Structures are given as C-alpha cells and as structure tokens.
Amino acid sequence: MYAVVYKVILRTGLFELIEIGSNYDTWCWGYDFFNTFTILLNLAVSIMYTFDNMEMKYGPLLLTLERLTVAFFAIDFLLRVFTAKYLYPDVSEPRAVWKYLISFSGIWWAASTLLTVGYGDIYPVTTMGKIFGIFIAFLGVGMVAIPTGIISAGFVDQYSRLKRIGKYGQEEDVHFIRICLDKNDKWIGHRIAELDFPQRIIVAVIQRDHRILVPKGDTVLKAGILIFPDIRSLYLSDATKS
C-alpha cells in the first residue's frame, strides 16, 4: 500500500516538475531554466563544431558537452513517458503512453517553424493531415531552394575558378595565348582530355559566342577562342623563383 502511494506521489511530483506551468514553484522554474539552457548549449556546441579551428582547439570539450546534453534530453524524454498518465488522465496508462509517443503536435510546430510557413488561421488537425501538410511544405520549399542552390553553386564555382586563374596570372606574371578555332579545325568535336598537349599546357578559358567558359577535361571543343598560358612565361617564372 505504501509503495503504491509513494509511486503515485513520486510520479505526480515528477510530472509537476517537468511539465511547464503545472505547478510553478522554485524547483519547476529551475528545471525549466535548466532545460532551456541545455537546449541553447546543445545548439551552440553544434554550431561551434562546424568551425575547423574550434573543432581542433576545443573538440573533446565540445563532444563531451554534446554527450551530456543529449543524455539529459534522453532522461527528460523517459520522465515524460513515465508521467504520461498524468498528462492524459482520462485514458488508461498504456493508452496515455501510446498517445504521448505518437503525439505529432511538436513535430508539426517544428516543421512549420523550420519551413517558415507559420501556424496560420487554417491548419491541419489530424495526424495524417499534419504529415501531408509537412510534405507539401517541404515540396514547395524544395522546388525553389534546390534549383537556386544548384545554380548559385555553379556561379560561385565558375567565379572562383576565373578569380584563381586571374590571380595566378598576375602573381606569376604569366602571359596567355589566344587560339581561334573554326568549324573545319581538327580539334572540333573532341574532348579536351583527348588532345595531346605538351607538358604543362592547359586550356585556361574558352570564349564562345560572347561567353566565357572555364573548361574541364570532358568539355567538347567547338568553334571559338581558346586561351592558353604561355609556357615560356611559366618557365621564366620558375627560373626567377629558383
């Protein structure tokens, strides 16, 4: 009898401690504050770990803090499952635990915040409706974000390669040679990797139809202008360094 009463008192106290706003005394306030602090600490550690210098300098400490915060989240989750009966007092304990485990409101709030769609005046009520709403929101964001990211990455890659080539030419005092290709040239239709260039000769830039292209090995040559670094300036640069 006493064991049952003690178990009820313990579970009631734990429920009031971990549930926000159930019995807002000093202990509950302290637990809520510590819970919020742990979430922010985990977020800060995750961000700091993405920087190489922070990982090299504080890597073991950051990993330890992450393990501790994740362990606290796991304990908090188990306590909430243990006290689920008091969150849903109108149903049996197995039903209350199951209802808490499949509760989708938190995931819906997180997804709506992450995708910046907002909660809105009209929103899905059932679990399947929320799942479908999240899928549609992800689909809508992906249709814009994925192509935009691919195009932006391509622009950045081309700009970075052109900048490196230009910077290298200025620093090393490298001169460039322009070669015009017409439709009857024997190089037309071949990939750059298939051409037998002398050592250290590369195609730096291709000018085609008023466009500047930074070629790769699988680029097929067409009529246009090829720009090569002058091999004599490369050897002169090496001789100056030595």
Q: Phi and psi (nearest 5°) for 188? A: -60, 135
What pLDDT score does 241 carry? 43
- Longest Cα–Cα distance in the chain: 100
Cβ-defined contacts of 162-170 (< 8 Å, 24+): 162/205, 162/212, 162/214, 165/204, 165/205, 165/214, 169/229
What pLDDT score does 63 carry? 92
Name the residue ranges covered by the structural domains of the chain.
2-98, 104-172, 175-241
CA-to-CA dists, residue 176 to 95, 187, 227, angstroms: 77, 19, 6
134 CB neighbour count, 10 Å cutoff: 20
**Alpha helices per DSSP H over the chain:** 2-18, 26-48, 52-82, 84-87, 93-101, 105-114, 127-172, 231-241
Tokens standing for 181? 């290709």
Q: Between the ranges 6-15, 46-55, 127-136, 231-240, where is the mean pLDDT highest?
A: 46-55
Strands 205-208 and 224-229: antiparallel
Place of tokens 């000018």: 207
Side-chain-facing half-sphere of 19: CA atoms under 13 Å: 17
CA-to-CA dists, residue 7 to 20, 92, 96, 101, 234, angstroms: 21, 17, 17, 22, 83
Cβ-defined contacts of 149-158 (< 8 Å, 24+): 158/214
Full-model pTM = 0.51
pLDDT digits (tens, 9 = 90+) for 73-108: 999 999 888 888 888 888 888 888 888 887 777 777
Superfamily designation of domain 175-241: Regulator of K+ conductance, C-terminal domain (3.30.70.1450)
pLDDT digits (tens, 9 = 90+) for 25-76: 778 888 888 999 999 999 999 999 888 888 888 888 999 999 999 999 999 9
The whole-angstrom distance between residue 97's C-alpha and the CA centroid of its chain comes to: 33
